[in-house]
A and B are shown apart, each in its own frame.
Chain A
Amino acid sequence: MPPWPSILEQTYRADHGRIVATLIRVMGGDFASAEELVQEAFEAALQQWPREGVPAEPRAWLLRAARNKAVDRVRRGVRLGARVDELEVLARLEQELSSAPDGTDWQAHPDDSLRLLFTCCHPALAEDIQVALALRTLCGLTTEEVARAFLVPPATMAQRLVRAQRKIRDAGIPYVIPELDALTERTRGVLHAIYLLFSEGYAATEGDALLRVDLCAEALRLARLARSLLPRHGEVAALLSMLLLHHSRHRARVAEDGGLVLLDRQDRSMWNAAEVEEGLAQLEAAFALGAFGPYTIQAAIAALHAQAKRPEDTDWEQIAALYHRLSELAPGPVVELNRAAAVAMAKGPEHGLALVDDLEASGRLTSYHLLPAARAELLRRLGRREEAAAAYRRALALVRTEPERRFLEERLREVI
């Protein structure tokens, strides 16, 4: 068995959201208390595991610890003349604790995290806060990480999150998976949250590791659940397709030394064939359901990459055309940047460079390291080594993950 700190860390990353989700349910929708209690349970593990050894079922242990603390807390709080809902919470907690032997209770409510996701994405909350709340609560990202994803200061994000949790409590937003008619109203936010969760896992914004496979796996699990809940919704199938196709490449994307391997240098035999196949089938399903939204286009792009046996077989014309359509449907600087890269491959680096220069002139993405990195790459291919070196240096000043830093440093050495 691996040492306890790594098991605890692994459990935190993989299961924090699910434990919180369950706690919110038994606490009658109280987000803030649930988060605190789970935090206390992890602190208890930090104290006890080194002394008593790692329990056989770490996450069941943590869930039970959090619930015991919840019972204590509710009992302490419940006074004579307590309100009905407090008594209900207590009854529910005690019943769960007495009826579930350790380790088996985990399966009892597999949809808790979906319930949490749909609650976070309630239309009574503003759309950007829906996604932020889902990332914070369900995915266990820190407030700083969420703030970075939304490009706002951490203090602002913290305030917004508290306000949203308060609204859930005070306005009586229920902790349920909604009925079918309300389900579609929330799909946008739910899909966006799953997408961002996967992105955070697939290209972590900070730290030593390039990939956080646990986040990707959770995003895939949620996408599958959403797919089964909304079988006739084409964009859900498209999102699942896109996640599968990206995920199929994750082993080839990281070198043995932990470095980043770009698509054109990946060992394609390492791609997960089953996931590619399933991803292509889900894309077919999306088309059959008449979907042609942003997720469908991105899935189609990923599919074109997946179908190329060798990098030089890639249908860049088609990919550039799809990016063009995507930039009309879901305009944004990151899409523009990707389009520039595709155009460079289809028509030549000078065409791509023109698009990148436009983007830079627009003043967007000024703190995003991939903009100068892309520019550097195109300049390098055009043989403009000095300009390329300057652009690599600018990218290095902005990059936040270690593997990407190493990658850029290597490229810089090639041009100086």
Chain B
Amino acid sequence: MKYLLMIYENEKIWESYSQDETRQLLGEYAVFTESLHKGGGYIAGEALEPTPTATTVRIREGKRLTTDGPFAETREQLGGFYLVEAKDLDEAIAMASRIPSARTGSIEVRPIMDYTKNMG
């Protein structure tokens, strides 16, 4: 099954890190990503620019509304993701728990919808 591991974190936390701390964390991310490549679970993964760069688009009554910022103001923001292949939820949870930001933020694990499954 495919799962999206969404990394939510208070993005201010990255501003609070010293250069050394940032370097160390990025190093941990590199190691983690490498382990996914080796383990065969990696499909895709990206980090996002912080929320001030976000634009939200809605269509209401046929009209497009474009607004500055993310969809909702929350304490934690979506900062990046991994798309992985895992045997089951437990394996996906195990992967998610090894993401460095799991220690400071939270990782939402969501299965990717399998369109063929409900069509049998």
Q: Are B89 and A173 interface neighbours, CB within 8 A?
A: yes
B90 and A182 contact, CB distance less than 8 A:
yes
Q: Which residues of B contact A174 (CB under 8 A)?
A: 87-90
Measured between alpha carbons, how far is A301 from B111 in the docked complex, in Å? 46
Any A CB within 8 A of the CB of B120: yes
Contact A124/B89 with A170-B111, A171-B111, A172-B111 known, Cβ cut-off 8 Å = yes
Q: Which residue of A lies closest to B87 (CB)?
A: A174
Q: Which of B61-120 contact A (CB under 8 A)?
A: 86-90, 92-93, 111, 116-117, 120
Chain A, 114-146, CB within 8 A of any chain B CB:
122, 124
CB-based contact A83/B89 at 8 Å: no
**Is A2 part of the binding interface, using a Cβ–Cβ cutoff of 8 Å?**
no
Whole-angstrom CA separation of A86 from B114 in the bound complex: 14
Nearest chain B residue, comparing its CB with the CB of A83: B116
CA distance A126 to B120 in the complex (A): 29
B87 — which chain A residues lie within 8 A by C-beta?
Answer: 172, 174
Q: Is A53 an interface residue (CB 8 A)?
A: no
Q: Are A172 and B116 in contact (CB under 8 A)?
A: no
Q: Chain B residues near A176 (CB, 8 Å)?
A: 90
Chain B residue numbers with a CB within 8 Å of A77 are: 120
Q: Which residues of B contact A173 (CB under 8 A)?
A: 88-90
- Residues in B neighbouring A172, C-beta threshold 8 A: 1, 3, 86-89, 92, 111
Q: Which residues of B contact A170 (CB under 8 A)?
A: 111, 117
Does A178 belong to the interface (CB within 8 Å)? Answer: yes
Which residue from chain B places its CB closest to the CB of A85 in the assembled complex? B117
**B94 (CB) vs chain A CBs: closest residue:** A182
Determine the distance from Cα of A171 to Cα of B110 in the docked complex, in whole angstroms: 7
Minimal Cβ-Cβ distance residue in A for B91: A174
Q: How far is the CB of B94 from chain A (nearest CB, A)?
A: 9
Residues of the B chain whose Cβ atoms lie less than 8 Å from the Cβ of A86: 120
Contacts of B93 in A (CB 8 A): 124
B10 CB to nearest A CB, Å: 24
- The closest CB in chain A to the CB of B2 belongs to A172
Task: Give complex CA distance A182, B92 in Å.
Answer: 13
Give the CA-CA distance A178 to B90 in the complex, in Å.
Answer: 9
| Chain A residue at minimum C-beta to C-beta distance from B111 | A171
Q: Which residues of the other chain, B, contact A83 by a CB distance below 8 angstroms?
A: 116
Interface residues of A in 160-174 (CB under 8 A from B): 170-174
Cα–Cα distance between A83 and B115 once the two chains are bound (Å): 12
Residues of B within 8 A of A182 (CB): 90
CB distance from A89 to the nearest CB of B (A): 12
CA distance A83 to B116 in the complex (A): 9
Query: Shortest beta-carbon distance, B120 to chain A, in Å?
Result: 6
Write out, one digit per residue, whether chain A residues 172-196 have a CB within 8 A of any chain B CB (1) or not (0).
1110101000100000000000000
**Which are the 7 A-B pairs with shortest beta-carbon distances?**
A174-B88, A172-B88, A172-B89, A172-B1, A173-B89, A171-B111, A171-B89
- Extra pairs beyond A83-B116, A170-B117, A172-B89 (19, CB < 8 Å): A77-B120, A86-B120, A122-B89, A124-B89, A124-B93, A171-B111, A172-B1, A172-B3, A172-B86, A172-B88, A172-B111, A173-B88, A173-B89, A173-B90, A174-B87, A174-B88, A174-B89, A174-B90, A176-B90
Q: What are 14 A-B residue pairs whose CB atoms fall within 8 Å in the complex?
A: A77-B120, A86-B120, A122-B89, A171-B89, A172-B86, A172-B87, A172-B88, A172-B89, A172-B92, A174-B87, A174-B88, A174-B89, A176-B90, A178-B90
